[in-house]
Every structure is written in structure tokens, then in C-alpha cells.
A and B are shown apart, each in its own frame.
Chain A
């Protein structure tokens, strides 16, 4: 069964460093998302991406964040200068053209900022 994959599973970084989180969505999906979940808190929408551009973004997704689909398979989230409060699980999700609300989530990347 096709699935969304994410790498790395755990990333540890120093405050102020740049990190890139990688996702490989399901191959025929066209809509891509990033969410984050701070430990013990709710899943929060960050950004949606379609047709090589951002469709919508939340207040969390400020200038420190960017997304990119550098090739036909990867979808990345970059945090330019990490802060302690960026420590969270980051989930990538994708969906196809037909099932409007059927987002498939990856296993997540745990980001720890020291």
C-alpha cells in the first residue's frame, strides 16, 4: 500500500541553525501539507501546497519557514533559524485529486532544538 515517508525520523539541532525536513508524498498525489504537533498539544496546520505554490498558510508559518518541491517526488520544509519553540513533531501529508478530505499522513519527524 502506498504511504507517505519522512526523513529523518529524529533531527536534533542547535538554536539558530537551519533544518530541512523531507517528505516523499504518495506518488500520484497533487496536494501537500505540513503540520506540526508540539508534545502534548494538538496537531496544527502549517501550510498547504499545490501546483508548485503555497495555497494557504497559518500564522505559525512565518518568514522563517519555507516549502519546496525540488523534484517530482520530494516535498521539503525548511526552517531558517530554529528556535527552542520549534521543537515538535512535524507531519507531512498528501492527498489525491478525488478524495478531498482524505489526507494521508507520514510518520513524522521529531525536531529537537537545543
Chain B
């Protein structure tokens, strides 16, 4: 079983839709959970990070972590064409990001 699993998509939605992106993981030692956005031929850009279980909201983005199910989600409200990118989940057992493990990334297309 892979440490981190993420559906690569592609996921295509109309502008204004609510997008749900998800990852599952197997290593119960993961405590820190991140979501990155990566545009084509660019480096990943940190969107949000959370510690342990719970929700975190930042503007149109909401991150959820359910450690009991080993499942994390990123919701994007009122999606825009500029949100079209690859979204990577990432997780780490320790603060500091040592040996962060990334998911494969989900390609999202938001159609105008």
C-alpha cells in the first residue's frame, strides 16, 4: 500500500463550482498535512497546512483532516479558471517538514 494516495484526475468543473480534492494515507505517524498548488512547469506553492485533525479555512479554500480515517480533503469554493492547476497533498510526521511525502497530484481544470 502506498504511503499517500491521490487520484490524478483530471477533474474538470465549470466556473463557480465547489471542488473537492482528496488524499488517503497509510502512515499513522503523519501529523502535519499540506496542500500545494503547482502550475505547469513551476514549483509547488503552499496553499494551506494543518496539524492533526480538524478544519482550516482560508478565503475560498478549506482543508479538512480526519486522522481516524486517514483521509484529508481540500475544498475550493466558487472555483475560478485561475484555479486550474495540479493540487498536491503532502504530509510529514514531524514539524519541520523533514521527509515530506507528496501525493501524485490531481489535475484540475476550471472551465469559464
Interface, chain A (partner B; CB < 8 A): 4, 31, 33, 41-45, 48, 55-56, 58, 91, 93, 95, 100-108
Contact = CB atoms under 8 A, between A and B. Distances in A.
B96 A100 contact: yes
Interface of B: 32, 34, 36, 41-46, 49, 88, 90, 92, 95-105
Contacts of B92: 101
Contacts of A102: 46, 49
Contact of A42 (B42, B97, B103): B103
Contacts of B34: 101
Nearest to A108: B43
Contacts of B46: 101-105
If over half of B's interface residues share one DSSP class (helix, strand or loop), that class is named, otherwise mixed; here it is loop
A101 B101 CA distance: 12
B100 A103 contact: yes
Q: Which 4 A-B residue pairings sit nearest by Cβ, starting from the closest?
A: A105-B43, A100-B95, A43-B102, A101-B49
A44 B104 CA distance: 10
Nearest to B31: A101
B43 A42 contact: no
Given A42-B102, A42-B105, A45-B100, A101 B44 contact: no
B92 to A, nearest CB: 7
Nearest to B6: A42
